[in-house]
Chain A
Amino acid sequence: MLRIACAMLVVRGMSPFLLGLLLSVLAAGAAAAGQKEGQDASYVWKVLTLQSHNARLVILSTTLLGGASGMLGTFLLLRRRSLLGDALSHATYPGVGLAFVVMLLLGGEGKWLPGLLLGAACTGVIGVLLVLAIRNTTRIKDDAAMGIVLGVFFGVGVALMKLVSDLPGADAAGLNDFIYGSAASLVFADFLLILGITVVAGLLSVLLLKEFTLLCFDESFAASQGWPTLALDLAMLGLVTAVTVVGLQAVGLVLIIAFLIIPATAARFWTHDLRRMLWLAALLGGLSGWVGAGLSALFADLPTGAVIVLVAAFLFLVSLLAGSARGVVPRALRQGRLQRKVGRQHLLRAIYEILEGQHPDVSAPIRNLPIAQDALLAHRSWSLPQVSRLLRTARSEDHLEEAGKGKVRLSEAGFGEAARVTRNHRLWELYLIRYADIAPSHVDRDADLVEHVLDAEVVHQLESELRDRRSSLEVPPSPHFINQPGEALDHGKAEP
């Protein structure tokens, strides 16, 4: 009963409910954790609701970044470029060194943050362009192209950093930490930058949603319709670059890679609809930023980025298991249900065909008599455990009742269902024989594949197609020979 309730919940698209449940579990965990540290629940609430001044900037920034990169990550995921964030963040490395040198040569101070970020963005963009160029002009695939750019740019960056650090008059110490910062060192200016970039990125992805969708699903169709695919691709990657660079500076390298991948992949489990997926990815990214940063504000010695990644990973795990569209559990349930349905229909049809066999007189209506289980075993290539399992299920569904030792009988409902199932099977067989030119002796197996998914509308169509049949309400006679127990086995050759 519980299992069915769960299945209903998951499959009927009650994802908001599950998400709410998840949220309260997380909040409860945070509260419990806070109490262990000797802080009361109201403090936890204060941190999570941004009333604590210290945590406010960090939580807001990570939430914004999580939301924006969740959205952009959706496009990356659908274009199978999830690791681009990885390549991009390594490709920014030489840019920092170059910007440092250029600013020194211009007589300024080397460690001017906006300049360094601009440099990082420049080599980031160059890296992305190279990935595109390699992919478009050689037979090397996206993933290797990203790997090449990542490896070479990172190497060049490391070499360059060392070169730069020895320049006369330069104080390059801590340049790395300066640019690949951690969330704890955020200041108000950083927050404003993040706010600006994420809002612009979010707005543009909403405005260009139609174009980006087209690009994600069918790039060549977009090109054939005259869309500027390259420019659109560049716009998309430009947005990703902008978010990556501000994210790198604010929250560090691994977190921004995780933000671009995990929320989008988690959202994919809940829906097949791109719009919903975008919102859900933004929601999941923002949620992990909010909860993760809140949690790490409660524990002084937990690194913010790592906690956020773990919260996102937890949300991903839940989505992987329970996601209503592609989650592992709902998929297994759907598959199991289909298998039970197929088994039930096969059993009912087998019984019906046996009952038919006991009635040589075709014109007389078929009577519901008890049949032996052995007859069922002989009728299809079932093993004994298979048959007993099918019979057990049929009994629990009230399609079948006991009728003495080793015998079963269809209930009234079961008899009606058996007639309906057999009729669907025969209608489809007749259709295949008439319109698909399949030999009557071969049609049984083909019909088997399709009969379970015939809905009422298709059955109605079949009825009208085959109208000149004697009757559209009765079960038509089988178009092929059905092997009945007790008859000579060599007749069975008619049916493979």
Chain B
Amino acid sequence: MNWDSYDTWTTVIGALCAVSCALPGCFLLLRGMSMMGDAISHAVLPGLALAFLVTQSRTSVAMFVGAALVGLMTAVFTQWLSRFGKVDRGAAMGIVFTTLFAIGLILIRQSAHFVDLDPGCVLYGSLEVSVLDSVVVGGLELPRAVLTIGAVMTVNFLFITFLFKELRICSFDPELATTLGINANVVHYLLMVVVAVTVVAAFEAVGSIIVISMLIVPPATAFLLTNSLPVMLVLSAALGVAAAFLGHLGALTVPVLLDVRGTVTSGMMAAAAGMLFVVAWMFSPREGLLVRRLQKLPISTGGSSAMD
């Protein structure tokens, strides 16, 4: 195994994606909206198709705006259905994203007569390809994805830093937030905008697999390890970086072991995140299965027999 600059950039892009997803993912987890990433990943299809039909071009800016708007609409419609229709949140999400996806499929099929718009190709970039697409900034050759995802990560970081108090109160106690004069609705929709933008930007750069898994798995792992929200945020970002590194390491070594040509790095990163989750699930000092089992053991066997 030899590690060169290609591998470094792959890991860096994966890590940047993981951190940008894990930060808002913590709040999604606390609000019980973890499936939002998956929902948005299916729902953006009509946004892409409409952006294409309106502008008649495949520029990524139009696509990005269309996808982000539909991503936001997914969140808004879900909220409406669960508030006004009193539908369970998960069911509302499922109804919205399947319907939007169906509309997108039909739009694409209808426009297929005069253009070729392959949803798989337009929607999902791939980590392997985006590393090769490089630009020169200040004499340094960087993959373009590093810039876009880096920007998204910075925005997410600033968003969470500046609105930390509001986000925290709204996640744990929306009623208290309202009495303190914080508009919980505005905060909710701001978070949804951030999630939609992150998800779409990351799709375009590296594909949906990293996004769907990194929005949920590192925050859930961190949730098992701590009771403090700031610690959980830092921990989930660190776990995301670790998953990116281990994932790429796995992508380099596993095919060699099995004597096949290669595998998909983003898939391996998701698998690595899963492994880290299992480790935390078993050995977490508070929540781990091992600790719980130990806690259930009688304190002293001699004492309990004396009680009999």
Chain A residues near B (Cβ < 8 Å): 77, 80-83, 85-86, 90, 134, 137-144, 146-148, 150-152, 154-163, 166-167, 254-255, 257-258, 260-262, 264-265, 268-269, 301-303, 305-307, 309-310, 313, 316, 320, 326, 328
Interface size classification for chain B? 35 or more
B94 close to A83 (CB less than 8 A): yes
B209 close to A143 (CB less than 8 A): no
CA distance A154 to B101 in the complex (A): 19
A152 close to B106 (CB less than 8 A): no
- Please encode chain B, from 199 to 223, with 1 for each CB lying within 8 Å of some chain A CB and 0 for all others: 0000000000110111111001001
A155 close to B270 (CB less than 8 A): yes
A143 close to B94 (CB less than 8 A): no
Taking A151-B38, A155-B273, A307-B102 as given, write out 4 further A-B residue pairs in contact, using a Cβ cutoff of 8 Å, ordered by the A residue number.
A147-B220, A158-B266, A160-B267, A258-B95
- Please encode chain B, from 227 to 262, with 1 for each CB lying within 8 Å of some chain A CB and 0 for all others: 000000000000000000000000100110010111
**What would 15 A/B residue contacts be, using CB atoms closer than 8 Å?**
A82-B94, A86-B94, A147-B37, A148-B217, A150-B35, A151-B213, A154-B270, A159-B268, A160-B263, A163-B260, A261-B91, A261-B95, A262-B94, A303-B106, A326-B85
CB contacts (< 8 Å) of A138 on chain B: these are 224, 281, 287
Which residues of B102-129 are within 8 A (CB) of A?
Answer: 102-103, 105-106, 109-110, 112
CA distance A363 to B270 in the complex (A): 85
The minimal Cβ–Cβ distance linking A296 to chain B, given in whole angstroms, is 10
CA distance A303 to B95 in the complex (A): 18
Instruction: Pick from B102, B110, B216: contact of A258, CB below 8 A.
Output: B102
CB contacts (< 8 Å) of B106 on chain A: these are 302-303, 306-307, 310
- Knowing A155-B270, A262-B98 touch, does A148 contact B86 (C-beta < 8 A)? no
- Knowing A155-B271, A159-B268, A326-B86 touch, does A310 contact B94 (C-beta < 8 A)? no
B274 close to A156 (CB less than 8 A): yes
Looking at A150, A152, A268, the one whose CB has the most chain B CB atoms below 10 A away is A152
CA distance A144 to B213 in the complex (A): 11
CA distance A81 to B88 in the complex (A): 9
CB contacts (< 8 Å) of B263 on chain A: these are 159-160, 162-163
A254 close to B42 (CB less than 8 A): yes
B254 close to A163 (CB less than 8 A): yes
A82 close to B91 (CB less than 8 A): yes
CA distance A269 to B84 in the complex (A): 12
Secondary structure dominating the interface of A = helix
B266 close to A258 (CB less than 8 A): no
CA distance A140 to B217 in the complex (A): 11
A151 close to B87 (CB less than 8 A): no
CB contacts (< 8 Å) of A257 on chain B: these are 94, 98
Residue of A nearest to B261 (CB): A166
CB contacts (< 8 Å) of A151 on chain B: these are 37-38, 209, 212-217, 270, 273-274
- Knowing A148-B220, A167-B260 touch, does A77 contact B91 (C-beta < 8 A)? yes
CB contacts (< 8 Å) of A77 on chain B: these are 88, 91
CB contacts (< 8 Å) of A261 on chain B: these are 91, 94-95, 98
B171: Cβ under 8 A from any A Cβ: no
- Knowing A77-B91, A309-B99 touch, does A156 contact B38 (C-beta < 8 A)? no
Chain B residues near A (Cβ < 8 Å): 29, 32-35, 37-38, 42, 81, 84-95, 98-99, 101-103, 105-106, 109-110, 112, 209-210, 212-217, 220, 223-224, 251, 254-255, 258, 260-264, 266-271, 273-274, 277, 281, 287, 289, 292
CA distance A255 to B101 in the complex (A): 10
Residue of B nearest to A301 (CB): B109
CA distance A81 to B264 in the complex (A): 31
CA distance A477 to B269 in the complex (A): 79
- Knowing A147-B38, A154-B270, A163-B254 touch, does A309 contact B29 (C-beta < 8 A)? no
Residue of B nearest to A101 (CB): B258
CB contacts (< 8 Å) of B42 on chain A: these are 254
Instruction: Pick from B33, B35, B102: contact of A254, CB below 8 A.
Output: B102
Top-6 shortest CB links A-B: A155-B270, A159-B267, A151-B213, A152-B274, A309-B102, A158-B267
CB contacts (< 8 Å) of A80 on chain B: these are 88, 90
Residue of B nearest to A258 (CB): B98
CA distance A151 to B101 in the complex (A): 19
CB contacts (< 8 Å) of A265 on chain B: these are 87-88, 91-92, 95
The minimal Cβ–Cβ distance linking B129 to chain A, given in whole angstroms, is 14
The minimal Cβ–Cβ distance linking B24 to chain A, given in whole angstroms, is 14
- Knowing A148-B216, A305-B102 touch, does A156 contact B270 (C-beta < 8 A)? yes
Residue of B nearest to A321 (CB): B85
CA distance A147 to B216 in the complex (A): 6
The minimal Cβ–Cβ distance linking A371 to chain B, given in whole angstroms, is 42
Residue of B nearest to A264 (CB): B91
Residue of B nearest to A144 (CB): B34
CB contacts (< 8 Å) of A155 on chain B: these are 209-210, 213, 266-271, 273-274
Instruction: Pick from B29, B38, B210: contact of A150, CB below 8 A.
Output: B38
Instruction: Pick from B89, B255, B277, B289: contact of A152, CB below 8 A.
Output: B277
CB contacts (< 8 Å) of B215 on chain A: these are 147, 151
